[in-house]
Structure 1
Amino acid sequence: MALEVPYRSIPDMFLQRVRATPNNQAFAVPTADDSAIKWLNWSEVGERACAIAAGLAGLGIGLEDRVAIISGTRLEWILADLGINCAGAATTTVYPTTEPEDAAYIVADSGSKILVAENPAQAMKLSGFETAVTHTILIDGTADAGATPPQLTLAELEERGRAALAEQPDLVDRIVESVGPDNLATLIYTSGTTGRPKGVQLLHRGWTWEGVAQLGTGLFASSDLQYLWLPLSHSFGKTLVCGIIHVGVPTYVDGRVDKLVEMLAVVKPTLMCAAPRIFEKVYNKTVTTALAAGGAKAKIFSWAVGIGKEKVALEQAGKPVGAALKAKYAVAEKLVFSKLQERLGGRLRVLVSGSAPLSPDIAEFFAAANLPIREGYGLTESSAANFVNKMGKLKLGTVGQALADLECRIDSDGEILLRGAPVMRGYHNLPKETAEAFTEEGFFRTGDIGELDADGFLKITDRKKDLVKTSGGKYIAPSAIEGQFKAICPYTSQAVVVGQARNFVTMLISLDEDAIKGWAAGEGVSGSYAEIVAAKETQALVAGYIEELNGKLNRWETVKKFAILPRDLTIEDGEITPSMKIKRRSVETNFSAQIEQMYAGSLAQL
């Protein structure tokens, strides 16, 4: 049955929300000292977004014109994005970590006429490059009167907009009336694990569908308090904002990842969505702290996790949890799991993971701790939220069931195909690539390999292009092996399987700096991170975990050699995307010396 969407566009959805609940809490930000949070209600958000829209209209921005935002996640990002859409325009998103050359390429290729920059340093990224930008809007900092193109602050833009609205109170309403479902709302450039980024054209139809479809998952409620830290330049962040608007979810906005754990205790959210790396870090910290305590504390922790997993196994099998196990679990929760729950604010009702694969073993650990992570799946090209484990329907190891009326097929080679409202119009200025991305029946080729079970739950095997074929002709799914290793070795930051056209599998490993330094201190190993990972004691530690991993793998999948990297993978070095996906080609290029050393003396090619 087709999903009923009662909106023509994002601004229509947004203004309906403002009119319906003007005095309800909308978005919160931290106070200057991070000791508390302060709220804006929907009326205040509506007033500011409409002022921005009117200000942009005064600068000549109209239907489907592009306005670029280059900023970290913060309230002003959301206000600017809503203002852009209320002006009839489309938002071009640029990650704040993007290098100047790539930022300029995105802004130029998109044809963006205005740049909203977080500060003068971000605005400077376009300096010396040719773009269509006529004005730069600064969120923070003072506008440079002599700058080319001209600069003004966001506050000044809002002031201009308010003056325009005083003369024409219905200005924004008239513009919003002209925006329809098939108009462009967002142009998101795929950070791309290979090649130059492509502009993904996402329409108002898809985003409003996302807002309504998310309500059907049971994950969102107007009584929740959401912690939103995800990059808003990414489709996952944007789709959450659409859900927030449709449902009316009070949301704290703070993109400072280094402040996440600290602010969880202040905000005490009931709902948080994250990339797997955040859950991995919490897992690492929890497990390594328990192991470091040793003695009775370590034994109690292991016992509690065992009890939790026993309970989860029964629940997953649809079997009742007996009174004796319930009693044991109550003790485990009081002694162990309650402390972990408290570290995350003490009130979390829903955790959602997306943007990269979550290790099933780590998912099992969180479920055991009564913090079940509901893994979801989607792509930039399909507006991010396509599948998710809904409330009351959690199947570990899967990304859940399709949202609303989204169609999914599995192609003859195992590729996941999608069709429906949230799928992109196409790639900007790339007709050939657009045509290649769709089947004759109009299904989008995701590039992911997966399988659907009888109940419609989707299991992702790997990226089609990431599958490794050894020189012996065996196919290997790297992410499955990497996920298992992350769950086995609590000191892991990143793991990258290598083996394409090689005669055995190897692994590049980076360790979590805090976790391994804590372990090293207890073992009498000192020095910098690079010195600690090179120490024979650390090598022996990791070798033990590799041996444990190999015991769970098929013979042809086993990791014969590994190399611990002298540093972690970074966005800046092009090894991971801002949404925490591994860029395998870049990793293999940057660490080619370590790879060649592992294969030295072997018949690497047959």
Structure 2
Amino acid sequence: MSKQGHKASVQVSPGEGAFGPIYRSFLSPEQLVERPHEGIHTMYELMEEARKRFGDKKNIAWRDIVDEHQEQKVVTKKIGDEEVKETKTWTYYELSPYKYITINEFFKTVDEFASGMHQLGLNQKTVFNIFASTNVSWQVAAQSCFRQGITFCTSYDTLGPEGLQVSLEEPEVQGIFTNAQHLKVLEKIIDQTPLLRVVIYDGEADENILNRIHSKISGRPNAVLIHYDEVIRNGKQNMVGPAPTQGKDVACIMYTSGSTGKPKGVILTNDNLIATIASVTMLLKPYLNQSDSYLAYLPLAHILEFVVECYMMYYGIAIGYGRVKTLTSNSVRKCEGDLVAFRPTLLVGVPAVWELIRKGIVSKVQAASATKKKLFDMSMWAKSNNIPLFKQFAESVVFKSVRAQTGGRIRYALSGGAPIARETHQFLNTALTTIIQGYGMTESSAMCALMTPEFFCYGSVGCPMPSVEVRLVDVPEAGYFANKNPAQGEVWIRGPSVTQGYFKRPEITEEAITKDGWLRTGDIGQWDEQGTLSLIDRKKNLVKLSGGEYIALERLESTYKACNFVSNLCLVASSDAKQPMAVVFPREDNLRAALEDNNKKDIAHLELSNLCHDKVVQNMMLKKLNEVGKEAGFANMELLQCVVLIPEELPLTAAQKVQRKEVEKKYADLIKKVYP
């Protein structure tokens, strides 16, 4: 129950049989939200509203790469009984200060780029692809498509040739925007995409790659290989008016990162995107304002980042573009990292980012003096227990230095993409800022539920969005029932922000969406006492062990990942085993420090690949992980039977989610040696 005395959701229809009651947001019990206000039916109209209201505000910022610095480090490897020293090279960027332009200047570039696209024969009958890193030019390309009514599809810039080919072939793409560094990937599959005739790129490209791509497309009708700046120049000389579409028309086809196989193209209309932005506006209006600023660094090919940026533009909030590799000051040279340089008040991250930030803070605390360690621990305790006098000291002195690492101004942060570990959530909420969780997917135009400060609690993903209604459905084989107390089951959602289906994939559309419009999310949820939704796990991640009990792999992983010895991990479970096991990519610095502290100096200096094969290290990791599990109250069947350590990052999707099937396949031989 909120301070105002109402719950986060309202029941609008009773449950029956396997189907639980239908709930809506407390903000939209009578009618689901479709648009921020009358007169806005398309993304073009939404952005024109932003232009009209905030045109003179310097709300778009970025940094240029000034220089690259190479640094060499000597590492020690153990080959047999011999120690071998090897020199490795790391590259660090030196960046300019942030450069700002107004919203009017940004949309002037959009007008020119859109006119340039028109000159290239790209129109409402063609599909355009954006295969680029998160930056201003990505948004220029997308907003230009909205202006001219061109459907665009997205490809993660980390996709390999096969994934890119799917997102070019399936929608019959005729034009693409990419970065110079990604042209080599495009070159590999351009022969298999004969309809692609317009290639636009930014940055400085290798002349040999340009020549090869040019020769491959030169025989195609109206083929062009052209620089981004030239498209803008051509458009400036040949301006055309907008040609927007209607709300029901397809705005974009968002291709998933392919974590479970072939990437799927999710069809999103203007109506879908507008409804989501309208509901975010309604839900967050009491908390955000036009003096806020947002650091953008997640992939724009991910629906969450794309919708958040469009909302920020519409609401008049400044956007500064950063890079994952340059967020912190440790990862750049002769300049500050993006967080300190831009000093955002708002930040969005996936659990992997929050784990990295938490572990970075913990490492600095552990390296400090005994007095400073004790002061930090006391400050955490005082704030967690709301001790007034010491809490004030902790906020103004102890935590001030922690917050300085992220620019010192963050008011709210959003965690999405997967559940955040409770320990990490509590730690950062105390030491850094208020972190709210959200829940969504590409199929829901990013948002199904969102926590607000009014209903803040750990473990919850918050209130249903005002643009959707939610119900739970029985999963009897796993013991989840939607009409029992607590109500648990598969989360189904319906509403104007939910997709109509997958592009040219009727069979999976039929599997995912019911005839009356319910999207089967595959997530297992639970209604909480205050009407908020919590996620228990993914339906596909429920695994039955040899004792007949089900365990929820994703829920367990989110807790085990909080272990300071872990950079990343993936759980594997078998019906022939009593417990799961973990494939772990270790957090090298913390692991070595622990070995030193435990008088294992003869092991601590070994190359990481040798550490991973050492029995002492494996046992230490297993013991530490199970300590974390026991502290979290895990049942015996949820603790780990064994571990496999690997000296490399696990296979990830472009959205930074672990590819479970790929992990099991890639490390099958190592797993079989120890499990089940």
Cα contact 1:26–1:45 (8 A) shared by 2:
no
Return the letter of the residue paired with 2:32. Answer: A
Corresponding residue number in structure 1 for 2:202: 139
Return the letter of the residue paired with 2:229. Answer: A
Shift of 1:331: 2.8
Corresponding residue number in structure 2 for 1:59: 120
Shift of 1:181: 0.7
Q: Is residue 87 from structure 1 mapped to residue 148 from structure 2 by the alignment?
A: yes
Shift of 1:581: 1.4
Q: Is residue 400 from structure 1 mapped to residue 439 from structure 2 by the alignment?
A: no
Q: How does 1:368-407 map to 2 (within 5 A)?
A: 368-407=430-469
Corresponding residue number in structure 1 for 2:409: 347
Corresponding residue number in structure 2 for 1:150: 224
Q: Given the superposition, is the C-alpha separation of residues 64 and 598 from structure 1 closer, same or farther in structure 2, using an over 3 Å criterion?
A: farther
Higher relative contact order (CA 8 A, sep 6+): 2
Q: Is residue 238 from structure 1 mapped to residue 306 from structure 2 by the alignment?
A: yes
Corresponding residue number in structure 2 for 1:302: 377
Cα contact 1:387–1:402 (8 A) shared by 2:
yes
Q: How does 1:522-561 map to 2 (within 5 A)?
A: 524=601, 525-535=604-614, 538-551=617-630, 552-561=633-642
Cα contact 1:103–1:125 (8 A) shared by 2:
no
Gaps of 5+ in 2: 1-30, 67-94, 218-222, 330-336, 476-488
Shift of 1:492: 1.1
Taking the aligned partners of 1:53 and 1:456, their CA distance within structure 2 comes to 45
Taking the aligned partners of 2:189 and 2:109, their CA distance within structure 1 comes to 27
Q: Deviations over 1:432-467 (max 9, x none)?
A: 211221123211011111112243311111111011
Could you tell me the percent identity over the aligned residues?
24
Corresponding residue number in structure 2 for 1:198: 264
Corresponding residue number in structure 2 for 1:464: 539
Q: Given the superposition, is the C-alpha separation of residues 231 and 130 from structure 1 closer, same or farther in structure 2, using an over 3 Å criterion?
A: same
Return the letter of the residue paired with 2:262. Answer: R
Corresponding residue number in structure 1 for 2:87: none
Shift of 1:369: 1.5
Match of 1:16 among 31, 39, 49: 49
Shift of 1:540: 4.4
Cα contact 2:161–2:186 (8 A) shared by 1:
no
Aligned residues: 573
Cα contact 1:416–1:446 (8 A) shared by 2:
yes
Shift of 1:401: 0.7
Q: Given the superposition, is the C-alpha separation of residues 17 and 153 from structure 1 closer, same or farther in structure 2, using an over 3 Å criterion?
A: same
Return the letter of the residue paired with 2:451. Answer: N
Return the letter of the residue paired with 1:445. Answer: R
Corresponding residue number in structure 1 for 2:569: 495
Match of 1:213 among 256, 266, 279: 279
Q: Deviations over 1:385-407 (max 9, x none)?
A: 22111133311111111122311
Q: How does 1:14-413 map to 2 (within 5 A)?
A: 14-33=47-66, 34-63=95-124, 65-119=126-180, 120-141=183-204, 144=210, 146-147=214-215, 148=217, 149-165=223-239, 168=240, 171-172=241-242, 175-176=243-244, 179-218=245-284, 220-261=288-329, 262-293=337-368, 295-311=370-386, 325-413=387-475
Q: Deviations over 1:79-124 (max 9, x none)?
A: 1111122111122111111111221121111211101111133542
Shift of 1:333: 3.0
Shift of 1:475: 0.6
Match of 1:591 among 642, 645, 667: 667
Taking the aligned partners of 1:538 and 1:292, their CA distance within structure 2 comes to 22
Cα contact 1:210–1:242 (8 A) shared by 2:
no
Q: Given the superposition, is the C-alpha separation of residues 390 and 156 from structure 1 closer, same or farther in structure 2, using an over 3 Å criterion?
A: same
Return the letter of the residue paired with 1:309. Answer: S
Taking the aligned partners of 2:377 and 2:263, their CA distance within structure 1 comes to 45
Taking the aligned partners of 1:582 and 1:388, their CA distance within structure 2 comes to 23
Write out the 4+ residue segments of structure 1 that deviate beyond 4 Å after TM superposition: 142-146, 517-523
Taking the aligned partners of 2:61 and 2:605, their CA distance within structure 1 comes to 43
Cα contact 1:210–1:422 (8 A) shared by 2:
yes
Match of 1:425 among 500, 509, 519: 500
Cα contact 1:561–1:598 (8 A) shared by 2:
yes
Return the letter of the residue paired with 1:72. Answer: S
Taking the aligned partners of 1:511 and 1:287, their CA distance within structure 2 comes to 16
Shift of 1:326: 1.3
Taking the aligned partners of 1:378 and 1:234, their CA distance within structure 2 comes to 11
Corresponding residue number in structure 2 for 1:480: 555
Greater displacement, 490-499 / 327-336 = 327-336
Taking the aligned partners of 1:27 and 1:385, their CA distance within structure 2 comes to 24
Cα contact 2:298–2:324 (8 A) shared by 1:
no
Q: Is residue 582 from structure 1 mapped to residue 658 from structure 2 by the alignment?
A: yes
Q: Is residue 5 from structure 1 mapped to residue 36 from structure 2 by the alignment?
A: yes
Match of 2:648 among 537, 560, 567: 567
CA RMSD of aligned residues (A): 2.1
3-state SS, counterpart of residue 188 of structure 1: strand
Cα contact 2:275–2:467 (8 A) shared by 1:
no
Return the letter of the residue paired with 2:381. Answer: G
Cα contact 1:35–1:266 (8 A) shared by 2:
no
Cα contact 2:276–2:467 (8 A) shared by 1:
no
Cα contact 2:326–2:338 (8 A) shared by 1:
no
Q: Deviations over 1:519-577 (max 9, x none)?
A: 556663113222233445533432331331342211222212122223221xxxxx221
Taking the aligned partners of 1:442 and 1:555, their CA distance within structure 2 comes to 41
Greater displacement, 195-204 / 552-561 = 552-561
Shift of 1:594: 2.2
> TM-score, length-normalised on structure 1?
0.90
Corresponding residue number in structure 1 for 2:72: none
3-state SS, counterpart of residue 242 of structure 1: helix
Return the letter of the residue paired with 1:57. Answer: H
Shift of 1:334: 4.1
Cα contact 2:492–2:520 (8 A) shared by 1:
yes
Shift of 1:182: 0.9
Return the letter of the residue paired with 2:647. Answer: P
Cα contact 1:517–1:529 (8 A) shared by 2:
no
Taking the aligned partners of 1:510 and 1:122, their CA distance within structure 2 comes to 28
Cα contact 2:113–2:144 (8 A) shared by 1:
yes
Gaps of 5+ in 1: 312-324, 570-574
Taking the aligned partners of 1:136 and 1:548, their CA distance within structure 2 comes to 54
